[in-house]
Homo-oligomer: A and B are copies of this chain.
Amino acid sequence: MINKLQKKAYINGYSSVGGKEEHRGPLGAALDHYDESDRFGQDTWEKSESEMQRVCLSMLFAKTGKKPGDIDLLFAGDLINQCTSSTYGLIDFDIPYIGIFGACSTAAEGLALAALSCSADYAKNAAVVTSSHFCSAERQFRFPLEYGSQRTPTSQHTATAAGAFLIGSENQSGDPGVYIDEVMFGITNDGGITDANNMGAAMAPAVIDTLTRYFKESGSKPDDFDLILTGDLGYEGYTIVKRFMSDLGSDVQSVLYDCGLMIYNRSLSDMHAGGSGCGCSAFALAASVIPDIKNGKYKDVLFLGTGALLSKASVLQGATIPSVAHLVRLRRG
């Protein structure tokens, strides 16, 4: 079901923070802060990720002039067990805290829930924060870095990045704003993939499911949008969704793109199948897509956050990898 918002929800601010590889990628110059060491002054990777979230939300406040007391609801989550990057990173702000988990779709899930809350006047201002960190994710889902394991060609590189967004029911920016007027929550899908190093293929069915439902219910078609942006399908998943879109008769090349293909420079850094992680789409949105909507490059964007809902235990127990794709429509005006 498409949730059409009763009132537009505006993205009144955005910030992003990243690590070394993200900084030397194509969007690096737009980061509000980066740390060349990826450590953010901390002595464990988990604490580094928390600190990255803390800095990112602080940056959002600095850029928007808002204070923590102005925020009614804070939606946050991450990939780390029990979402501790968000809990520890955001505890000092004393904002009512709603923990969410959508794996790498967390940015879209948070934007959707924050937009619904603001449009229904349950929050005047809501914030969304999410992050991922290559080193904490590798240790948790695969191997500690010290092990020096080799990665397969279909594997993606978890972005060391955080993104934060300020949502409100009024356009506070003066300029043409970026607003959300429709969201659609994803249905979990399972395409039968068991390879935790091919999450693009695991997530592609979720994107196809959500897009199919969206086009059917709205009566729209791919070419009605300036951009259909997926969260972190990478080259593997992008190729699958591209074929699906071509079958719909769409000029895919010009409309479909993926955050995981935007954030690294392939000639500088071999990230195999591309970027991934909660921070990947949050960073791409904050550093590139939302500014490009503001400046008029895009007017109407379908953003689909993509999440592979696996755990280390589920992989070790031989389970297939379910996935989900939440849709948020971002428009200029």
Residues of A near any B CB (own CB < 8 A): 1, 3, 6, 44, 46-47, 72-73, 77, 79-84, 87-88, 90-91, 94-103, 109, 113, 116-117, 119-122, 140, 184-190, 309-314, 317, 319, 322, 324
List, in ascending order, chain B residues with CB within 8 A of A322's CB: 87-88, 91
Question: 16 extra interchain contacts, Cβ-Cβ under 8 A, other than A87-B188, A96-B186?
Answer: A6-B121, A77-B101, A81-B81, A82-B310, A83-B101, A84-B319, A88-B322, A90-B188, A91-B188, A94-B187, A95-B187, A96-B184, A99-B101, A99-B309, A116-B120, A119-B120
B313 pairs with A46, CB closer than 8 A: yes
Distance between Cα atoms of A333 and B113 in the complex (Å) = 29
A103 pairs with B82, CB closer than 8 A: yes
Interface residue from B91, B187, B312 paired with A81 (Cβ < 8 Å): B312
Distance between Cα atoms of A73 and B309 in the complex (Å) = 18
A84 pairs with B313, CB closer than 8 A: yes
List, in ascending order, chain B residues with CB within 8 A of A95's CB: 187
Distance between Cα atoms of A101 and B47 in the complex (Å) = 19
A121 CB to nearest chain B CB (Å): 8
A185 pairs with B81, CB closer than 8 A: no
A277 CB to nearest chain B CB (Å): 13
Would A96 and B319 be within 8 Å (CB), given that A81-B311, A82-B310, A314-B88 are in contact?
no
A313 pairs with B185, CB closer than 8 A: no
Distance between Cα atoms of A186 and B87 in the complex (Å) = 12
A96 pairs with B47, CB closer than 8 A: no
Contact residues of A: prevailing secondary structure? mixed
> Closest residue to A73 on the B side, CB-wise?
B185
B187 pairs with A84, CB closer than 8 A: no
A312 CB to nearest chain B CB (Å): 7
Distance between Cα atoms of A109 and B113 in the complex (Å) = 13
Distance between Cα atoms of A113 and B44 in the complex (Å) = 34
Q: Which interface residue of A185, A310, A319 has the most chain B CB atoms within 10 A?
A: A185
A191 CB to nearest chain B CB (Å): 12
Interface residue from B82, B113, B185 paired with A96 (Cβ < 8 Å): B185
Q: Which interface residue of A6, A189, A309, A310 has the most chain B CB atoms within 10 A?
A: A309
List, in ascending order, chain B residues with CB within 8 A of A314's CB: 46, 82, 84, 88
Distance between Cα atoms of A82 and B315 in the complex (Å) = 12
Distance between Cα atoms of A113 and B82 in the complex (Å) = 19
List, in ascending order, chain B residues with CB within 8 A of A88's CB: 314, 319, 322
Distance between Cα atoms of A305 and B81 in the complex (Å) = 20
A84 pairs with B310, CB closer than 8 A: yes
> Closest residue to A321 on the B side, CB-wise?
B87
List, in ascending order, chain B residues with CB within 8 A of A187's CB: 94-97
Distance between Cα atoms of A84 and B313 in the complex (Å) = 9
Distance between Cα atoms of A97 and B102 in the complex (Å) = 9
A305 CB to nearest chain B CB (Å): 12
A129 CB to nearest chain B CB (Å): 13
A108 CB to nearest chain B CB (Å): 11
